[in-house]
Amino acid sequence: MGKYDILESIADKVKALDNLVKLKILALLIEEGSKSITAISKELNINFSTAHKYLEQLEAASLVTSKQVSENRLKRLFYISDFDVQLSPSGIANLISSSSKIPSKANTFKIINESGEFVDFDEKIFSQKYLKRGMPRGLVANALASVLERTYDGITVIELRDMFKDELNKRMENILDVTKQITIAEGHKRTYKTVMQFFHPEALKEHANGDIFIMNLDSPKLLDFVHDVRGIAIHGVNGKTPETMENLFEQILFAVDFVAKSADRYQSLDSFNYFIAPLSKNISDAALRSEMNKFFEELNKTSSRSYICLDIGLPDVLKNLPTTFWTKDGTTYENYEESADNVTKIVKDLFETKDYKNLRLLIKLWRKTNLSDLPINTYVANMMPSWQKPNAGFVGSVRLNPKWKNHIGTNRAGEAQEIVINVPRLALQSASFKDFLYKIDTMIRKCCDYIENMAELNHGEFLRKKQTQLKSTQRVRWSYISIEDCPYMISFTGVKNALDVFNKSGEKNIHEVFLKHCDKALSKRIKIPIRVLLKENVSQELANRFYHLDSKNHKVNTDTTLKRKI
């Protein structure tokens, strides 16, 4: 495309603006919002056929858009487009505002006041009664500017006030019409919000007043995602197995971009050092460092925050795991422990010396090690306790427990939705610890009901329009996003602060009792084939919001109650 080709669309717009009436139509739509052809023809005093012809020309030049709306009858509304030429909407708006400044005392027309006197019109006197009763100054000035264009010498103040009132009513009707059209449009969108409005309107009220917080009320998207680096190394994402480190990183970046269309928050590359080790074994440290730095810099530019998960020590699940689907020599990841340790060393050094703003390291400890040499902002997960699942996956603050499937890790899955419960509020509203547990039980089961309705939409949307498969070397395609493996979270904020309320009452082992009661409450839910997990929410911003809302209604000690401490 030539450098002057872009001027064609601008020429079309300028050509469409070939007379004053068309500019008046644009100005009217900018100033007052959407209009029908009938309304435009009446307000500008032009023929219906002329208005229709000019609107068609303006729409063809992408200066306005239109759509059919259905109320009592079908009608066509025209809207201003955000066009980009010298006469842009903001430029026209500035012209309107500069040319319609309200006159001062030295006006060019006179009015007849209540006493029957023929006097100069005084905008300040006229506006005073409206401003004193709280009407915004901008609204008064803007509406009055439109009215003054239709005044004449000798108009009575009563007639002028009636015209002003009609102008305000017209603007109010336009605002109500716009909000109505927005409500209708939102009602047709397939979002979590529309589901809640239909099945559980009380959930939206609880979300608004701070009882809970629903992390995503828009179109279904995963909140985060754990990648399958081993799967990419074996399957590929384009039908070809990556044969070099550079090619493997290119395919991982492709997968990250692919998932970003369906995941909104965090992405994680689990057991990164082990799964790239087979390709790192036969290249020099300098070449490996260069390739990884290029990869991290490209990953850092993506829209998602990514976690690089490194295993220190050999996870049991990798000991007998082959590096390919079919291996003749019995090579497993245990053979690459030294290479994986070398990858870890280089990655830690890169994160110490480079500034990857959107990347974080997450270390999974399988053996005792010195933690003093870790880069700042590194997360550590101790995998040595017996309660840890050997194939648990981590992304952001979420620990995904893969007990529901026999797999090497919680990969190709993420967090489908999260509802956060304001635990300190429930504590402050409770007469006793027993009453508090009852309220927690009730809230958990309500959140399960909300989640089950959202899950239906979530699965339907992914089946209907989300692309979840990639090309594979082993079969035609492989499912890279396993929506059925994605759990739904109910999380708590301010648990410690809430339990502090009851510590002083002499209750014993309240933390253990609280956790057991929450697990029991979750187990009581009606079973449908989705996973609902409990976790702690660590968002300081969300905790601050809950604190701000509750501090208005409760006398609280800001050092000990309701304040989240990370």
Whether residue 327 lies inside any domain: the answer is yes
Q: How far is it, in rounded angstroms, from Cα 37 to Cα 54?
A: 10
pLDDT at 180 > cutoff 50: yes
- With 0-12 CB in 10 A as exposed, 13-18 as middle and 19+ as buried, what is 141? middle
Whether residue 407 lies inside any domain: the answer is: yes
Q: What is the pLDDT of residue 438?
A: 94
For residues 508-526, average pLDDT: 86
Q: How many helices (H) and strands (E) does the chain have?
A: 22, 19
Mean pLDDT of the chain: 84
CA 520 and chain centroid, separation: 32
If asked whether residues 438 and 546 sit together in one domain, one would say: yes
Whether the pLDDT of residue 123 is over 50: the answer is yes
Interval 161-172 mean pLDDT: 91
Domain total in the chain? 4
Domain co-membership, 238 together with 275: yes
237 and 386 part of one domain: yes
Question: What is the full DSSP assignment across 484-514?
Answer: GG--EEEEEE-HHHHHHHHHTTT-SSHHHHH
Residue 423 shares a structural domain with residue 553: yes
pLDDT band at 87 (very low <50, low <70, confident <90, very high): low
Residue 2 counted as domain residue: no
Look at residue 115 and tell me whether its pLDDT is greater than 90: no
d(CA 217, CA 214): 7
Distance CA 223, CA 461 (A): 15
Q: In terms of Cα–Cα distance, which of 108, 103, 137, 131 is closest to 120?
A: 108
Whether residue 173 sits in one domain with residue 302: no
pLDDT score at 246: 94
Q: How confident is the model at residue 3, as a pLDDT?
A: 45
Q: Give residue 443's pLDDT.
A: 95
* pLDDT given for residue 103 in this prediction: 46
398 and 444 co-located in one domain = no
Output the domain CATH number for residue 63: 1.10.10.10
Residue that is written with structure tokens 């880069």 in the block: 375
Same domain, 108 and 90: no
**Per-residue pLDDT at 2:** 47
Last residue of a domain, one of 94, 110, 127: 94
pLDDT, tens digit, for every residue of 234-270?
A: 888 888 889 999 999 999 999 999 999 888 889 999 9
pLDDT digits (tens, 9 = 90+) for 337-378: 999 999 999 999 999 999 899 999 999 999 888 888 888 889
Q: Is residue 1 part of a domain?
A: no
Q: What pLDDT digit, counting tens, does each position of 387-431 carry? A: 887 778 888 778 887 555 555 566 788 899 999 999 999 999 999
Buried b (16+ CB within 10 A) or exposed e, 280-304: beeeeeeebbebbbebbeebeeeeb
pTM: 0.69
CB-side neighbour CA atoms (13 Å) of 303: 10
80 in a structural domain: yes
Q: Are 518 and 444 in contact (CB under 8 A)?
A: yes
pLDDT at 308: 95
- Tally Cβ neighbours within 10 Å of residue 41: 20
Domain that holds residue 131: 101-188
**Rounded Cα gap, residues 101 and 90, in angstroms:** 17
Over residues 188-243, the pLDDT tens digits come to 678 899 889 889 999 999 999 999 999 999 989 999 999 999 989 988 888 888 99
Contact 561, 444 (CB under 8 A): no
pLDDT of residue 363: 93
Give me the pLDDT at residue 268, please.
Answer: 94
Region of 421 on the Ramachandran plot (φ > 0 left; ψ -120 to 50 alpha; else beta): beta
Residue 246 domain-assigned (yes or no): yes
Q: Which of 18-22, 105-109, 561-565 is modeled with the greatest confidence?
A: 18-22
Q: What is the pLDDT of residue 502?
A: 85
What are the tokens at 217?
């009320």
Are residues 211 and 231 both part of a single domain? no
Among residues 395, 413, 431, which one ends one of the domains? 413
Instruction: For residue 413, give both structure tokens.
Output: 């899955």
Mean pLDDT of 170-186: 79
Q: How many residues comprise the chain?
A: 566
User: Is 478 domain-assigned?
Assistant: yes
pLDDT band at 509 (very low <50, low <70, confident <90, very high): confident
Q: Tell me which H or E stretch contains 77.
A: strand 74-80
Segment 475-499, tens digit of pLDDT: 667 888 888 888 899 999 999 889 9
Dihedral through CA 346, CA 351, CA 355, CA 360, nearest 10?
130
Domain boundary among 94, 119, 150: 94
Residue 291 has pLDDT above 90, yes or no: yes
pLDDT in tens, 530-561: 888 899 998 889 999 998 888 756 544 433 33
H helical segments located in 44-200: 48-60, 89-99, 123-132, 137-148, 157-188, 192-199
Name residue 421's beta-bridge partners.
212, 492
Q: What is the pLDDT of residues 447-466, one digit of tens each?
A: 999 999 999 888 888 877 77
- Whether residues 276 and 309 share a domain: the answer is yes
What pLDDT is recorded for position 97?
Answer: 54
389 in the same domain as 264: yes
pLDDT of residue 435: 94
Q: Other C-beta atoms within 10 Å of 53: how many?
A: 12
Are 90 and 109 part of one and the same domain? no
For the stretch 292-347, pLDDT in tens is 999 999 999 988 899 999 999 998 888 888 888 665 567 889 999 999 999 999 99
Q: Give the pLDDT band (50/70/90) at residue 161.
A: very high
E strand map for 238-376: 263-269, 305-312, 359-365
Tell me: do 508 and 530 sit in the same domain. Answer: yes
* DSSP secondary structure letters along 146-176: HHHTT--TTEEHHHHHHHHHHHHHHHHHHHH
